[in-house]
Amino acid sequence: DRQQDSRTGFGDFTDAANGKFSIGPRDNVVSIWGPTFSGDIHIMIPHFDTTAGAWSTTVQDSIVGDIQNDRIHVRTLDIEGDSLDEFLVTYLDMNDSIHIELYNVDTALNATLIASIVDEKALPLNAYAHVRYTVETGDFNGDGTEEIVLVKLIDVACCDLEAKVKIFFHSFAGGA
């Protein structure tokens, strides 16, 4: 069965990720698309009804702001070490700043923004850099919680690019 979203507007970019947002035998899905005509990024987390064997309710949210019409990403990660995932959404604002928005998901699949990181700029859009940044998650230091890895291109000389890698370690005591 297909899950639909009644919100209007489409975007040039879309992404989806699976994760474990609630206790149970099934993974969940979070999808994003945008920026829409109004500049929003839409978030959708569908709920699968195990008794009916079909999709049921859908949790919908949006990110509103000065969002650039460029690639957007969604990734899941377990930053609390509780075997339940959170998710992040990344996008560029109109000043080429990279936004990483981190969300916690409750048992009803409602997402709550818990951290926002905006401390890196992407390479300005140009003809030789079609992908300016990407993001991935994983437990890179073996501590049982996952980290965020941001890879962005930097211009070292005319038409010469290098990749810069930055790892974000999250702590609820000290923030991201």
Whether 71 and 13 have beta carbons less than 8 Å apart is answered as yes
Tell me, what's the pLDDT at 41? 92
pLDDT at 2 over 60: no
pLDDT at 158 over 90: no
Q: Which of 42, 26, 46 is nearest to 34 (CA)?
A: 42
Q: What DSSP line would sit under 5-51, residue for residue?
A: -------SEEEEEEE--SSSSS-EEEEEEE--TTS-EEEEEEEEETT
Between the alpha carbon of residue 18 and those of residues 31, 77, 87, 160, the distances in Å are 9, 10, 9, 36
Q: For 51-70, what is the mean pLDDT? A: 78
Rg of the chain's alpha carbons, rounded to an integer? 17
Residue with tokens 């437990």: 139
Q: Which of 170, 12, 28 is nearest to 91 (CA)?
A: 12
Mean pLDDT of the chain: 81
pLDDT at 19 over 70: yes
pLDDT digits (tens, 9 = 90+) for 103-154: 999 988 899 999 999 988 887 766 555 668 889 999 988 988 899 999 887 7
Tell me, what's the pLDDT at 10? 57
Tell me, what's the pLDDT at 152? 85
Distance CA(167)–CA(120), nearest Å, equals 12
For the entire predicted model, the pTM comes to 0.83
Tell me, what's the pLDDT at 175? 42
Question: Terminal CA-to-CA distance of the chain, rounded, Å?
Answer: 38
